[in-house]
Amino acid sequence: MILSVSRRTDIPNYYSEWFYNRIKEGFLYVRNPMNPHQISKINLSSDIVDCIVFWTKNPANMIPGLQELQNYKYYFQFTLTGYGKDVEPYLPDKRNDIIKTFQKLSENIGSEKVIWRYDPILFNEKYIPEYHIKAFEEIASQLNGYTHKVVISFMDLYAKTKRNTEKLNIKEISNSEIKEIAGKMAKIAIKNKLSIETCAEQIDPKEVGIAHGSCIDKDLTEQIIGCRLKVNKDKNQRDECGCFESVEVGTYNTCKNGCKYCYANFNEQQVEASVKLYDVNSPLLCGNIGTKDKITERKVKSLKEEQISFLQVTDIF
């Protein structure tokens, strides 16, 4: 299986010690967000976990313990934008801290295993297209040689994000405007030796030299693990999403980054309540097991193709 750590919260930033403890113990619990009394037990054996995809905005706390993952294959989706404290209030300074952390992580695990994400791109009176182009170019120049790929996406205003971003006065952006800024970012990416992809965008980015991407990337995962995988598209994601199936281990309302555009936090009060339940030794992230809860072991297995098929053999020759 491919483990997603995590779309719902920044585990590398705030809960890396918990995750390392779960790796040592060999399992963790995940509460079903649609059925709170249903808890899945996930086997974390390295024989079953084919690859781990980490999602983060600041993995500084995780870097010192990376040796705990020596038996696992993994890569990072690292979000690094040009926003200030009005949008991403609890992140360290980008120029003096986050960029250096990106570089350090890359030096530790290899530039092919760190994917830069400049997303989501939103527009208002402050964050105009010219601002994003300038920020993107500055960051790209600093990450030149530390990553091979950048992923961009534009803000989708869900009901929760509309509420959380109300004070930002986000403006609607047309498809023509999206293509224009994406085209400029593509040129900057090429200049800095980066391939560039979009994430779950409805527009056709090929017109401006950009490919549709997938965060849970089959090709990249196969390159990292050195083996073919038998996987299907993730049915739980949007139609535009190119990701392949994975097992999500995070919990909503537990991320302390405080990003105003976040879809995984419902409100600050719920986040505060959840964080108080954090126990580094618990198999469950930020929660207690109640008398009505039912724990069921989830059936998971390796997705590796153990034998080369006839078609693959003919491809070689």
Confidence (pLDDT) at 158 = 63
The H or E element spanning position 12 is helix 11-14
Residues of the chain with pLDDT under 50: 309-311, 313-314, 316-317
Cβ-based neighbour number of residue 163 at 10 Å:
11
**The pLDDT value given to residue 313:** 47
Residues 16/64, Cβ–Cβ less than 8 Å: no
pLDDT in tens, 117-167: 999 999 999 999 999 999 999 999 999 999 999 999 988 766 666 677 788
CA distances, 14 to each of 32, 96, 235, 254 (Å): 21, 20, 29, 9
Q: What is the pTM of this model?
A: 0.92
